[in-house]
Structure 1
Amino acid sequence: MKRMFQKSVLSKFTICALGLGLLAGCASEEDTVIMAPVPVVKSEFTPSTEWSTSIGNGVGHYFSKLNPEFAYGKVFLASRDGLVKAIDPETGKEIWKADLEKDVYARLSGGLTAAYGQIFVGTENGEVISLDEETGEELWRVLVNGEVLASPATDSNLVLVHTSRGMLIALDQATGEQKWTISTEVPSLTLRGDSAPIAVSGGVFWGTANGRLAAAIVERGQLIWQQPVGTPQGATEIDRLVDVDASPIVLGGTLYTIGINGQLIGIDLRSGKPTWKRNYSSAIDMTSDGSRIFVVTDKDHVVAVDARSGTELWKTDKLENRLLTAPALIDNYLVVGDSEGYLHWLDRSTGEFVAQQLVHDSGFSVSPIELPEGYLIVTRNGDVKKLTISQ
């Protein structure tokens, strides 16, 4: 069945204006986007459920991107209302749980990130919270300038947090004490979402709301370069959005980034200069198998490009406007989830559909993650399953 979505949220990305939340009424009733029907796929394999559990009420219909994290031999999960759990990946049994809701609704939104024997998560209330990975005990909680919608990064005993107010903030991993801050410009109209920073070789890299990829030295918080990814164009404010909300990825000495109404760019890590540019627009994370970059565009076209040259290898529009998750690599397949609760499995070499499964009609906000001997999925309503592939 076809469904209709207003372009006032650019099909899939929530827009916020001056911190006032949703921007409504940007399109007429005729200005609509049509969701592609579910592709007819003859599945080459059938996933088997190893165990099932839940994580509270999940994230519901909210923006929260609470990615599950596999680390320290555990799976860590979180719900928007403040529940965090550690579970055994073999059995699904709970190891510990913590309730992070205090005097106000928790509104967990950025994370999870595991490092230094801790779990880090951010909130729409402007908090960053650290938990002990073994016990779930809260170690510290600090306020930062802006909502934390993206997963923190870690390096050099620092927790690096990108906020909705254009701040990249470094916190001491042991205490939460603020060590340095870098500010970037935030336009009056932006997409709801922020680029999760990545830290590589003493540098930290992140996308900005004003259409740039920024780089800084981790230890000192010194900005070293900014590379334009998109240039505002068009007659309306929405057409002129240039947010770089996807987290960059690094392969060897090259960094890759993409922006809305912008470009997919390969950038030399040392010089900050582009090695190639291609016209793709997206605001969600990419993935790579080492030789190819996999992108979900703003129209939910799934694309593979050669990492060395940017040459398009294949593209499919059969999932257009189905509100896809970021792509993930599971068992050598490329996998995306959609808003109706389907997982779509593609051959990563050709882009052909190889399998499909309906999980839950609440849909997906985050990608599945690979586990030893299987993979984990989390639906918007908080259902959690470990599955394996049976040929």
Structure 2
Amino acid sequence: MVRNLSNSLQGGLPFVRAVSSVVLLATLAGCSLWNSGSAKPVPGDLGANVAVLGVRQAWTARIGTVSGMPLDIHTAGNVVTLASADGVVAAVDARTGGDVWRTALGEPLSAGVGSDGKSAAVVSRTNALILLESGRERWRQPLAAQVFTPPLVAGGRVFVLSADRSVAAYDGATGRRLWNQQRPGEALVLRQAGLMLAVGDTLVVGFSGRMVGLNPDNGSVRWEAPLGSSRGTNDVERLVELVGRATRIGDSVCARAFQAAVGCVNAARGSTVWTQPASGAEGVHGDGDAVFGSESNGSVIAWRRSDGSRLWATDRLKHRRLTAPLLLGRSVVVGDESGLVHLLSRADGTPLNRVATDGSGIAAAPVVAADTLVVVTRNGGVYGFRPD
């Protein structure tokens, strides 16, 4: 019997060049944002902060620098699990900011962190998949290629999406590899988190510009739905990847194809519901009514979830290099490269408030746990904010 994976879950970009199973770093950072010969666009003045929605800083903590690592922050109940680039992994109580557990692996990481609330998984830069339980290493397994997507821990298994476009499943108790699904490789892949999540008894992953549903028991393909397609004449222009984060409501999964489109797929039928052109590099978030995304130029856009029609767009944060958004109550929350966290109205994108961190830039999409908005900066500051 296939276990329901979803029940196990809570809730300038570099590229890499893939050669067989070896991944070599390339130097193509920021090509999609502006030409190397052009000056970096200057953000406009934000003006005075008018706090329409009261927000206060509740606590701060530290994890160590996350610069250079595609960080995903995992939430399960009151606990936030996160990792640093130098190998510190911690579970933090979102109510207090105190550690539930913390461990230092003593080696740098390339991806983290995935968790089911009990076990946490990360991948080292030496291509080792490492599973932790309560801060203690349970097992590790060597991988054939680099990994930039946080592992998915669900249904007693650990799933890994590698940069060579392979997906593998490992037994959560022993680390034994259960299966491996290999797709044809492209010349380039993004050095950032891709798409991987559970929808019922289906493992949903991003392969190039397609959302693909896999049988989690053996890796066989159940369906494929296109969101973006290759364009252009060179490797960079032809690059098309689905990027995290995604937003799932029931069978509806909406995601972004890097610098190409935003769209939604019906995961029960395996069919594309809609796509809209979009020039962004970060994931999306939303609810049953709307999907929200930040474009590479700093625009924030809302699309109607049912048909993809545009609800609103705002350029107030233009050229501020935004994170993927978080829909939180009446607010759409995004972080920027200066360390500011912006709360925009979900109704029309008007500003509701903004709060400051340490100025090093927000490193990952904001999350919420225990009624607390949690953000992490590139220098490793962890901040918890609550409504006044």
Letter in 1 for 2:334: V
Aligned equivalent of 2:37: 30
Larger mean Cα displacement after TM superposition, 28-37 or 279-288: 28-37
Partner of 1:223: 221
Residue pair 1:206, 1:215 contacting (<8 A) in 2 also: yes
Contact 2:121 2:130 in 1 (8 A): yes
**One of 277, 280, 300 as aligned partner of 1:279:** 277
Cα distance in 1, alignment partners of residues 177 and 51 from structure 2: 51
- Per the TM alignment, residue 28 of structure 1 is displaced from its structure 2 partner at its CA by 6.0
Q: 2:113, 2:214 → 1: CA distance? A: 23
- Contact 2:77/2:369 (CA < 8 Å) preserved in 1? no
| 1:127 matched to 2:128 | yes
SS at match of 2:223: strand
Measure how far apart 1:87 and its partner are: 3.1
Aligned to 1:344: 342
Which AA in structure 2 matches 1:171?
Y
8 Å contact kept, 2:77–2:370: no
Q: The residue matched to 1:245 in structure 2 has which SS?
A: strand
Compute the RMSD of aligned alpha carbons.
2.2
Matched with 1:188 is 187
User: Is the CA contact (8 Å cut-off) linking 1:170 and 1:180 kept in structure 2?
Assistant: yes
1:327 and 1:162 map into 2 onto residues whose CA distance is 23
Match of 2:115 in 1: 114
- Deviation sequence 1:135-191 (CA, Å, 0-9, x none): x11111111222221122233322111111111110111111110111122311232
- Alpha-carbon deviations, 1:183-230, whole Å to 9, x = none? 12231123222413111121111112x322221111121012323322
Match of 1:81 among 77, 86, 89: 86
Unaligned runs of 5+ in 2: 1-11
Question: After alignment, is 115-124 or 300-309 more displaced?
Answer: 115-124
CA 381–267 in structure 1, closer or farther in 2 if over 3 Å, else same: same
Distance 2:273 2:99 in 1: 47
Q: Are residue 69 (structure 1) and residue 68 (structure 2) matched? A: no
> 1:152–1:196: 8 Å Cα contact kept in structure 2?
no
Q: Which amino acid aligns with 1:80?
A: A
Deviates more, 1:116-125 or 1:300-309: 116-125
Q: 1:206 to 1:47 in 2, by over 3 A?
A: same
SS class of match (1:131): strand
Relative to the length of structure 2, the TM-score reads: 0.88
Contact 1:254 1:267 in 2 (8 A): yes
Instruction: Write out aligned runs for 1:87-106 (5 A).
Output: 87-101=92-106, 106=107
* Matched positions, count: 369
Aligned residue type for 1:39: L
- Which amino acid in the other structure matches residue 284 of structure 1? E
1:52/1:255 Cα in 2 relative to 1: closer, same or farther (>3 Å)? closer
Structure 1 residues 362-386: Cα deviation after superposition (integer angstroms, max 9, x where no partner): 1111122212242222111111222
Indicate if the aligned counterparts of 1:116 and 1:173 stay in contact, CA closer than 8 A: no
Of the three residues 328, 331, 341, the one matched with 1:330 is 328
Letter in 2 for 1:48: R
Alpha-carbon offset, residue 14 of structure 1: 1.4
Alignment correspondent of 1:383: 381
Unpaired segments of 5 or more residues in structure 1? Answer: 1-11
For residues 202 and 179 of structure 1, the distance between their equivalents in structure 2, rounded to whole angstroms, comes to 17
% identical equivalent positions: 26
User: Which sits farther off after the overlay, 28-37 or 188-197?
Assistant: 28-37
Q: TM-score, normalised by structure 1?
A: 0.87
TM superposition shift of 1:245: 2.2
Give the direction of change, closer, same or farther, for the CA distance of 1:59–1:264 in structure 2 (3 Å limit): same
Q: Assess, with a 3 A threshold, how the Cα gap between structure 1 residues 263 and 94 changes in structure 2: closer, same or farther.
A: closer
Alignment of 1:168-247 (within 5 A): 168-208=167-207, 210-247=208-245
Contact 2:82 2:112 in 1 (8 A): no
Structure 1 residues 72 and 287 mapped into 2: Cα distance closer, same or farther (>3 Å)? closer
Find the aligned partners of 1:387 and 1:249 in 2 and give their Cα distance.
Answer: 22
